[in-house]
């Protein structure tokens, strides 16, 4: 069945295209969403988009995501660095989430170099402009597919204990 993905764009991202193009690129939000939708169709996923400048609205949309969406792709924008409420919403929803940023937040001002949201996401992609969204969507769909294939909770790709080489073969073991 097609995966349902909620795509959340935080504050000021409605201004993409004209907002600091040297930092965020020249693509506007409509173009980013169209590209993502095309990619989602190829990958068999359905996207729902939200852009909001209001923390409470973002919290409510994420809070209602459980049972409706299989995954969350989120650029929390400035709330990345300030919002305990959005972090708690992501954690509480329990829906696998990937955080994306157009810019490389780790190469910017110190206050942007910390994300409150990343620790409750499955991963983060930053610094690739509009491609961060495409990479984030592919990463999210990839992890949903691998978890659907291994529903037992084995998600870290470690070999099962029986196949680990923890014991030397009997012929090589030293006698005591």
Sign of CA dihedral 124, 76, 3, 61: positive
Residue 100 near residue 125 (C-beta atoms within 8 A):
yes
69 is catalytic: no
Do the bridges between strand 45-51 and strand 71-75 make them parallel or antiparallel, or are there none, so unpaired? unpaired
**Nearest CA-CA partner of 140 in 85, 82, 75:** 75
Smallest distance from the beta carbon of 101 to ligand DQA, in angstroms?
A: 4
SS3 content of the chain, % helix, strand, coil (to 5): 45, 15, 40
Are the C-beta atoms of residues 102 and 77 closer than 8 Å to each other?
A: no
Closest CA to 98 of 65, 66, 131, 76: 76
Q: Which of 9, 24, 69, 133 is catalytic?
A: 24
The length of the chain is 176
Residues that bind ligand DQA (rule: CB under 6 A) add up to a total of 10
Question: Binding ligand DQA by CB under 6 A: which of 72, 86, 102, 116?
Answer: 102
Active site residue 24: yes
Structure tokens at 51: 């852009």
Q: How far is the CB of 168 from ligand DQA (least distance, A)?
A: 51
Task: State the nearest-atom distance from the C-beta of 128 to ligand DQA, in Å.
Answer: 10
Q: Would you count residue 36 as binding ligand DQA (CB under 6 A)? A: no
Binding mask 66-95 for ligand DQA (x = CB under 6 A): ---------x-xx-x---------------
Residue of 9, 69, 79, 101 with catalytic role: 101
**Contact string 114-153 vs ligand DQA (x = CB under 6 A):** ----------------------------------------
3, 61, 87, 101: residue in contact with ligand DQA (rule CB under 6 A): 101
The residue assigned the tokens 């990958």 is 43
Catalytic residues, by residue number, are 24, 101
Residues of this chain that interact with ligand DQA (CB under 6 A) are: 12, 75, 77-78, 80, 101-103, 105, 112
């Amino acid at each position: 069945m097609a995966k349902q993905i909620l795509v959340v764009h935080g504050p000021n991202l409605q201004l993409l295209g004209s907002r600091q193009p040297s930092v965020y690129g020249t693509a506007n939000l409509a173009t980013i969403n169209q590209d993502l939708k095309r990619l989602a169709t190829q990958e068999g996923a359905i996207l729902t988009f939200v852009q909001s400048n209001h923390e409470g609205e973002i919290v409510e949309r994420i809070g209602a995501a459980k049972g409706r969406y299989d995954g969350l792709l989120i650029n929390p924008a400035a709330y990345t660095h300030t919002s305990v409420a959005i972090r708690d919403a992501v954690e509480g929803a329990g829906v696998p989430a990937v955080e994306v940023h157009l810019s490389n937040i780790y190469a910017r001002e110190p206050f942007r170099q910390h994300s409150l949201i990343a620790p409750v996401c499955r991963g983060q992609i930053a610094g690739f402009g509009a491609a961060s969204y495409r990479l984030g969507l592919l990463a999210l769909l990839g992890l949903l597919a691998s978890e659907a294939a291994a529903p037992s909770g084995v998600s870290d790709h470690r070999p099962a204990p029986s196949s680990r080489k923890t014991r030397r073969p009997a012929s090589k073991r030293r006698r005591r």
